[in-house]
């Protein structure tokens, strides 16, 4: 008999391109995604019986709509995250993934299927509410996705025969010139603008409305749409306090630009932010007798006046080529 075993599990996706595809009929996944964990749950909302019946005990509750949401996490590689990045960001052209203003279109929609040994678990429609990418010295870059889903079902149908055509992990050490640069907006970034970091993180919050249901979707969630401004935040961890560069940036409210670039064997992964400011950290606080190791946090903005990263029109873009 089959057994659920994480070591043999698979995650397959379909990037949905036809219009009006939220809630469309299932079609087989076409690409594998390497992942380390998933935590997607389905919970029936319970409608409580609040009638007073002369007893402190409750009467039986009723089953309400189904809420499906959770996280998918993995280690980034140079080949197999195209559809994930496009779904989170919104559009792509020539290997550059850019943010779009709307999340009401199918271009952000995914079908996902997990092979769990006992059953295949299928998510017919999902959107990425939040994407977090981070890296640390001596480790691979990682990605975490928060998904809002329409539904989830189990199937005995065999998982499609898919394999990875190429695989090369993106590591912190895959760097070259102008790899970890932060500078003001006066000049284009150069080698002199590279900073000594131990880790970096960027987080995109698309600010989607959480799973909602209406009279026509009392069982399945409506298509998520934006519920306010999106948010893009970034942070870096410094190995030690060696100068006052970031202190001065914070005190002067300096508008900054940055690029984090990783490359190996002709492949590139880069995160480019045209304008950001320090919102916290850079206080060089003392935490015991050891080295002072500060963390600096930034808020990223749409490109207002950066002529050096003029092709990055929104808060950031990703080069994945």
Is the confidence at residue 93, as pLDDT, over 80? yes
pTM recorded for the entire structure: 0.92
pLDDT at 17: 67
β-strands 96-99, 199-205 pairing: unpaired
Helix (H) or strand (E) holding 99: strand 96-99
Is the confidence at residue 229, as pLDDT, over 90? yes
pLDDT of 62-71, one tens digit each? Answer: 888 889 999 9
Strand runs (DSSP E) across 243-285, as ranges?
Answer: 256-264, 267-281
Is the confidence at residue 136, as pLDDT, over 60? yes
Per-domain residue ranges for the chain? 6-47+61-320
- Given pLDDT bands bounded at 50, 70 and 90, which one contains residue 267? very high
Number of C-beta neighbours around residue 82 at 10 A: 15
DSSP class of 251: H
Distance in angstroms (rounded) separating the CA atoms of residues 125 and 109: 6
Distance in angstroms (rounded) separating the CA atoms of residues 149 and 128: 9
pLDDT at 24: 85
Is the confidence at residue 103, as pLDDT, over 80? no
pLDDT at 304: 79
pLDDT of 195-225, one tens digit each? Answer: 888 999 999 999 999 988 888 777 889 989 8
Which carries the bigger pLDDT value, residue 45 or residue 131? 131
């Amino acid at each position: 008999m089959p057994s659920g075993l994480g070591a043999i599990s698979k995650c397959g996706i379909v990037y949905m391109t036809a219009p009006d595809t939220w809630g469309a009929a299932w079609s087989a996944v076409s690409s594998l995604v390497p992942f380390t964990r998933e935590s997607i749950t389905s919970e029936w909302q319970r409608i409580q019986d609040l009638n007073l019946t002369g007893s402190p005990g409750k009467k039986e509750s009723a089953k309400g709509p189904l809420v499906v949401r959770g996280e998918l996490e993995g280690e980034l590689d140079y080949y197999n995250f195209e559809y994930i990045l496009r779904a989170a960001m919104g559009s792509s052209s020539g290997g550059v993934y850019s943010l779009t203003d709307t999340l009401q279109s199918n271009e952000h929609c995914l079908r996902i299927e997990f092979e769990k040994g006992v059953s295949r678990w299928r998510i017919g429609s999902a959107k990425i509410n939040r994407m977090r990418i981070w890296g640390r010295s001596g480790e691979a870059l990682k990605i975490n996705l928060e998904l809002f889903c329409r539904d989830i079902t189990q199937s005995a149908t065999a998982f499609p025969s898919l394999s990875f055509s190429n695989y090369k992990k993106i590591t912190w050490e895959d760097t070259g010139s102008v790899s970890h640069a932060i500078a003001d907006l006066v000049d284009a970034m150069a080698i002199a603008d590279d900073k000594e970091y131990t880790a970096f993180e960027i987080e995109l919050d698309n600010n989607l409305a959480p799973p909602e249901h209406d009279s026509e979707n009392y069982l399945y969630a409506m298509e998520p749409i934006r519920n306010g401004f999106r948010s893009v935040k970034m942070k870096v961890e410094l190995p030690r306090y060696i100068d006052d560069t970031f202190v001065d940036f914070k005190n002067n409210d300096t508008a900054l630009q940055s690029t984090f670039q990783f490359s190996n064997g002709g492949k590139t992964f880069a995160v480019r932010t045209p304008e950001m400011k320090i919102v916290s950290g850079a206080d060089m606080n003392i935490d015991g007798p050891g080295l002072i190791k500060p963390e600096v946090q930034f808020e990223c903005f749409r490109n207002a006046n950066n002529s050096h990263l003029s092709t990055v029109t929104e808060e950031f873009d990703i080069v994945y080529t």
